[in-house]
Amino acid sequence: MTDTITRGADAAPAGGSPDGRAPRPDPRAEARRIRRIAFSQRLSRWDFRLSPYLYISPFFILFAVTGLFPLLYTAVVSVHEWHLIGGQGDFVGLDNFAWVLGQDRFWLAMRNTFSIFLVSSVPQVIFALIIAAALDQNLRARTFWRMGVLLPYVVAPVAVSLIFTNMFGDQYGVVNNVLTSLGIEPIRWHADTLSSHLAIATMVNFRWTGYNALILLAAMQAIPRDYYEAAQIDGASKLRQFLSVTIPSLRPTLIFVIITSTIGGLQIFDEPRMFDQYGQGGASGQWMTITIYLYNLGWGQLDFGKAAAVAWLLFLLIVVFGILNYLISQRIASADAPRARRRKKEVAR
């Protein structure tokens, strides 16, 4: 009996049915397997489509919290009466904007801001271009020189302002002492409008010229050397190569530097704030900028509604300048495209 059972078990195929037929697949297991494959494919598609957005989302979430929300909240404050302790007051609509635009000190601050911006940004870009061209040469210890031009950028703005404020002191400043020793009348750096703007622009240029020079240097090193070789074969001098090859190739980067300089110049605060011990922009507002005017309204007069209106006017001004710079850059880029194609064809020949 035992023998019969053992033979019967040995006769059945391993893993198969006793009658020798192939086992039927379980329909439910097959359905689960198909669902798993479909779900894996769906996950793969989601990963392919959504991963880039997830990677950049931390920046936008942080920007929404620290940038967009304060911006919208400032818009709400600007159309209300707002007090430091009492908080939100009555809704006043655009009255705060109308009041700000009717103030002489607002337009004085606007004039000072544009004046300091012009006397700082224009020489800053020119000097940055010259420094970048010098650093692009085959210098010894060029890493040292490149790091050296960046050092002023890492100095705290308050420290820079204190140093230069002492240098531009009206009575005991280093600059006036040097001028007096040369027989030149001392300059009233804090009393005269243009002199104070030049002194503040010097602080700004000291900090930002090296930073912009490194940006321009990176763009210079991306210019194909074939252009310079073709220019040398044509007999172009170094100056001619710089004017005809380097400058046109740097136009997009130059526009970027100009845009960032414009935004920074319109928001300038630390240097004029620290130019004297009072921080009000001068006795008659000689160097009072928009940001100092905003600060005085908010934390001096505790009128946050009007200060928020100034902040929004400054924001709109920056947006207008940004759009103008974008349109100009687009126009220059479209004008440069045919020239670039012709230059590549000439090099290819």
Give the separation between CA 214 and CA 133, rounded to whole angstroms: 10
What is this structure's pTM?
0.75
Give the separation between CA 185 and CA 167, rounded to whole angstroms: 16
Alpha-carbon distances, residue 323 vs 139, 253, 261, 266, 314 (angstroms): 39, 17, 15, 15, 14
Give the separation between CA 38 and CA 202, rounded to whole angstroms: 65
**How is residue 91 written in tokens?**
């809704």
Whether residue 267 has pLDDT greater than 90: no
DSSP lists the bridge partners of residue 91 as: 80
- Considering the chain, what is the average pLDDT of its residues? 83
Question: H helices within the chain, ranges in order?
Answer: 2-11, 27-63, 69-78, 95-101, 104-135, 142-154, 157-167, 174-181, 193-221, 225-233, 238-241, 247-249, 251-266, 270-273, 290-295, 304-348
- pLDDT tens, 306-347? 999 999 999 998 888 878 877 776 676 566 555 555 555 555
**Residue 50 Cα to chain centre, angstroms:** 27
Whether residue 15 has pLDDT greater than 50: no
- pLDDT tens, 163-210? 888 888 888 888 989 988 988 888 988 888 999 999 999 998 898 899
